[in-house]
Homo-oligomer: A and B are copies of this chain.
Amino acid sequence: MGGTLNRRAPAILLDHGSGGRASRRLVEETILPHLRNTLLDRLDDAAVLSLDAARLAFTTDSYVVDPIFFPGGDIGMLAVHGTINDLAMSGARPVALSAGFILEEGLPLADLDRIVASMARAAANAGVPIVTGDTKVVARGAADKIFINTAGIGLVPPGVDISGHHGRPGDAVILSGPIAEHGVAILSKRAGLSFASSCKSDTAPLAALVADMLDACPAIHSLRDPTRGGLAATLNELASQSRVRIEIDEAVIPISDAAASACEMLGIDPLHLANEGVLVALVPCEHAAGVVNAMHANPLGRHARVIGKVLDGDPLVVMRTMVGGKRIVALPSGQPLPRIC
């Protein structure tokens, strides 16, 4: 009866880390109003700065994934791939990474060793050196084992201008591979679920795939990797930033049987689960076939396909379901999946 709804929680909730509605609100209401500038306001995966002739991409991500070792990877590998991918999502060729470690007192040195070795392998395989770093230690109980921040810089090739704001009606929505593998791998390891044991994290560096795509079509409009919050969050971000309606087709979204049945048993929408080696592209439709063909030639894009299209209309994501209806794909909200990356 006339009571006011306190829209802003007085303290941080786990939900604020979900990659969904609460995350967005935290950034938009508490962080952006202070830090506001034209580069940050774009909220793309990386900022692109012009330095004389060169255009530089710059990005950062902290990794707090729990468990720190999981099927298909570990927190160190994830930190290297994730930041390479954020650079790649601006079309940049990654040049260098930084690594900032926050270590909990009592972390076995053997675990740190294994994680750093994994980062080194991941960086070497992707051809992107880690050139600067920092290590902090906090007392037992003041952090959980290890948190890693990786920042990265990259060079954006001339003529490439990619942003979540550049989607246009008529664009094809391309997805590079099967969804939900990372999220299922983490959740099943956490819960000790044996039925999902064939699911491994898809963690992988996507820069070479993006380079192949740009060779086929330098005019790609938008690229984004659907990590925290999954495909649902990413498509909603793109729809919102580009002020377009996005329609996708459930029947053509690739997902493994193992991931699909794990999601069913867990009661989780696979569209909400994190991916760490998959990207979404908005591409002018006349170039879509060429881009998909180029992707098929790369192992990380062999399952790429067009999963939908961009339409004129209110910013909204709509999915044609298997049973023939349509449903709105909402941002994940409530029930957070904390520390998925």
Q: Mark A15-28, 1 if CB is under 8 A from B, else 0.
A: 11100000100110
Which residues of chain A from 114 to 166 have a CB within 8 Å of any chain B CB?
Answer: 116-117, 119-120, 123, 129-139, 141-144, 147, 149, 151, 153, 155
With a cutoff of 8 Å between Cβ atoms, the chain B residues found around residue A72 in the complex are none
The verdict on A132 contacting B46 (CB below 8 Å), with A30-B113, A144-B143 known, is: yes
Judging by beta carbons under 8 Å apart, are B10 and A138 in contact? no
- Identify A40's interface contact among B8, B40, B133, B136, CB under 8 A: B133
With a cutoff of 8 Å between Cβ atoms, the chain B residues found around residue A132 in the complex are 39-40, 46-47, 58-60
| Docked CA distance A98–B139 (Å) | 26
Judging by beta carbons under 8 Å apart, are A105 and B139 in contact? no
With a cutoff of 8 Å between Cβ atoms, the chain B residues found around residue A16 in the complex are 103, 135, 137
| Docked CA distance A13–B105 (Å) | 5
The verdict on A64 contacting B99 (CB below 8 Å), with A13-B105, A106-B11, A107-B11 known, is: no
- Identify A139's interface contact among B14, B51, B113, CB under 8 A: B14
The verdict on A98 contacting B58 (CB below 8 Å), with A12-B112, A129-B40, A147-B143 known, is: yes
| Docked CA distance A132–B147 (Å) | 19
Q: Does A265 sit within 8 A of B, measured CB to CB? A: no
Q: Does A194 sit within 8 A of B, measured CB to CB? A: no
Judging by beta carbons under 8 Å apart, are B30 and A134 in contact? no
The verdict on A53 contacting B52 (CB below 8 Å), with A132-B40, A137-B17 known, is: yes
Q: Mark A78-118, 1 if CB is under 8 A from B, else 0.
A: 00000000000000000110111111111111101100110
- Identify A23's interface contact among B49, B59, B135, B338, CB under 8 A: B135
| Docked CA distance A63–B98 (Å) | 15
Sorted nearest first, the 6 A-B pairs with minimum C-beta distance are: A17-B137, A151-B151, A60-B98, A149-B149, A47-B131, A34-B120
What would be 6 A-B contacts, judged by CB atoms less than 8 Å apart? A11-B107, A12-B104, A12-B107, A14-B137, A17-B135, A31-B133
